[in-house]
């Protein structure tokens, strides 16, 4: 899930001495693609078959049963990291504005900050994008990730639990989450090693790092944003384990 803590989870895997293979597998979010194509299935199969012992691959990908089948056939483990969708909207808006190579950048660069955030919440239509593929609303995105929580049979962790005190969380939740991940990966680590991992996890040098903080949406959401968010999000907050505030 983009802007949900991919680099934080990658950092942990690297500290655990896992090696990343291949390029990040991006299927779904950019195109709003609900049904996966044969081409993308082959792309995923080729990428996932490269993952051997001690290796991992990153991905931003909607849930597709076809991909789960490939994962199971290759006897791979999955870790899905999720984040409060309100914070994802804020992070997404800043990310698009910063990345001149992003397809939405030319449009966001002409908007006010409030308009940028609104676009990351409700999306943009094809007509707004000059006939290009539409940008889906945040509720649409989250609903198409939901299968990883319900049917993915892997481990699901929250950004808020992994980021630790430096990111606005708690060191206890971070320790518990790092322990859970290490056990899921079959690693028997001492408490001393786990503490060292937690101490080195929050990393500000990742290319897309901005703040890495919990709850920044409160500084940016206006009443109009909150209303628009509620209109598109449906049951997403509950489905992903986040309470409405």
Q: What is the mean pLDDT of each run of 10 residues along the chain (245 residues)?
A: 91 96 86 83 93 94 94 95 96 94 95 97 94 92 93 89 92 96 94 94 60 86 97 95 77
What's the rounded Cα separation, in Å, for the pair 189 and 68?
A: 29
pLDDT for the residue 209: 46
pLDDT for the residue 92: 95
Neighbour-count burial for 145-176, b at 16+ CB within 10 Å, e otherwise = bbbbeeebeebebbbbbbbbeebebeeebbbe
CB 138 within 8 A of CB 85: yes
Return all residues near 79 (Cβ < 8 A) that are at least 6 apart: 9, 154, 155, 156, 157, 181, 184
Tokens found for residue 149: 């929580």
Tokens found for residue 131: 């006939």
DSSP H helix total and E strand total for the chain: 14, 6
- DSSP strand pairing (79-82 vs 155-158): parallel
Burial class (CB in 10 A: 0-12, 13-18, 19+), 57: middle
Count of Cβ atoms closer than 10 Å to residue 134 Cβ: 15
Return all residues near 3 (Cβ < 8 A) that are at least 6 apart: 83, 88, 91, 92, 95
Structural element, H or E, at residue 193: helix 191-201
Which value, to the nearest 10 degrees, does the dihedral of the CA atoms of residues 54, 71, 142, 58 take? 30
pLDDT for the residue 244: 63
What's the rounded Cα separation, in Å, for the pair 40 and 33?
A: 11
Dihedral-angle region of residue 22 (phi above 0 means left; psi in -120 to 50 means alpha; beta otherwise): left
SS3 state at 124 = strand
pLDDT for the residue 245: 59
What's the rounded Cα separation, in Å, for the pair 45 and 19?
A: 19
pLDDT for the residue 23: 86
């Amino acid at each position: 899930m983009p802007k949900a803590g991919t680099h934080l989870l990658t950092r942990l895997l690297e500290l655990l001495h896992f090696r990343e293979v291949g390029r990040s597998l991006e299927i779904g979010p950019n195109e709003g693609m609900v049904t996966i194509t044969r081409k993308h299935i082959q792309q995923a199969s080729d990428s996932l078959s490269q993952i051997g012992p001690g290796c991992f691959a990153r991905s931003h990908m909607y849930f597709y049963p076809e991909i789960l089948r490939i994962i199971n056939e290759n006897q791979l483990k999955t870790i899905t990291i999720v984040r409060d969708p309100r914070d994802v909207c804020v992070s997404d808006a800043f990310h698009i504005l910063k990345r001149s190579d992003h397809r939405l950048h030319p449009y966001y660069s002409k908007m006010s900050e409030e308009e940028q955030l609104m676009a990351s919440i409700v999306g943009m239509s094809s007509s707004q994008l000059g006939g290009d593929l539409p940008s889906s609303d945040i509720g649409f995105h989250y609903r198409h990730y939901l299968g990883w929580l319900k049917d993915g049979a892997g481990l699901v962790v929250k950004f808020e639990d992994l980021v630790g005190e430096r990111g606005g969380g708690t060191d206890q939740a971070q320790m518990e989450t790092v322990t859970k991940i290490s056990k899921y990966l079959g690693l028997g680590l001492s408490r001393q090693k786990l503490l060292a991992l937690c101490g080195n996890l929050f990393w500000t040098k990742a290319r897309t790092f901005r703040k890495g903080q919990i709850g920044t949406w409160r500084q940016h959401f206006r009443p109009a944003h909150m209303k628009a968010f509620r209109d598109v999000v449906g049951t997403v907050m509950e489905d992903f384990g986040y309470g409405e505030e």
